[in-house]
Homo-oligomer: A and B are copies of this chain.
Amino acid sequence: MNLTKRQKEIIDAALQLTADGGIQNLTIKHVSGALGITEPALYRHFKNKAEIVKVMIVNFEELADAAITDREADGLCGIETFVKSRFTLVAGNPPLAKVMFSEELFMDDEECSALLLDMMHRHRGSLRRMFLNARKAGEIRGDIEVDMLFRLVLGPVRLLIKQWGMSKQAFDLVKEGNRLWNALCKTLKENNPVSGFEQSTWKGNRHEKKSD
């Protein structure tokens, strides 16, 4: 995805417009207006509107990927890296908060929703792996299946980002994200009845069912 300067400007404007007023607000007229050029000028840079939306979506992913600093991290640490990278990414590009997890916005275009689904699945895939490893490693409680763990973590992350976006960035997303992560850790850590002592005992990955 090598974008020219103009193309990047267009994508940025499109993102901002969508964040401000939904896809209804993402019109060629508005985008070109935001750049101070005429509508036909846009067509020098993108084949059509669909192309703009598509690049916009693909860009999410690249931004997201780029935001993960430690790509080697796995297990609980990998999940933490992933989750926190979400917060810093969105905090640094607020319009993303309104658009990033709003698949329904692009529902009308077959190709786009396919793109988004694909992106989601890919993310889910690598997260599943991390959850599995974290559970095996005893970093995460063994009594909850991986698909549920995914929901327990990503659900709150998405909701926090949405709340931030809808509140017009009323709070510090990164800080609140850290708080959320701490809370998540409390709930997901192996439920040590002896309160953290002799952690090693729990390493074996107990009672796990392979249904997930």
Q: Shortest CB–CB separation between residue A133 and chain B, in angstroms?
A: 19
Contact A22 B194 (CB under 8 A): no
List chain B residues, Cβ under 8 A from A191.
186, 191, 206
Greatest chain B CB density within 10 A among A103, A156, A180 is at A156
Size bracket, chain A contacts: 35 or more
List chain B residues, Cβ under 8 A from A206.
143, 191, 207
Contact A148 B207 (CB under 8 A): no
| Interface residue stretch chosen among A4-12, A54-62, A159-167 | A159-167
List chain B residues, Cβ under 8 A from A71.
none
List chain B residues, Cβ under 8 A from A107.
21-22, 24-25, 98
Q: Which A residues form the contact surface with B (CB < 8 A)?
A: 21-25, 98-99, 102-108, 117, 141, 143-145, 148, 151-152, 154-160, 162-163, 166, 179-180, 183-184, 186-188, 191-195, 199, 205-207, 209-211
Shortest Cβ-Cβ A-B pairs, 6 listed? A155-B155, A155-B156, A187-B187, A155-B159, A22-B107, A193-B193
For this complex, 26 residue pairs linking A to B, each with C-beta atoms less than 8 Å apart, are A21-B108, A22-B23, A22-B104, A22-B108, A25-B107, A98-B107, A99-B104, A102-B102, A117-B166, A141-B186, A143-B205, A151-B180, A152-B183, A152-B184, A152-B187, A154-B155, A155-B156, A155-B158, A158-B159, A186-B191, A191-B191, A192-B195, A193-B194, A194-B195, A209-B209, A210-B211
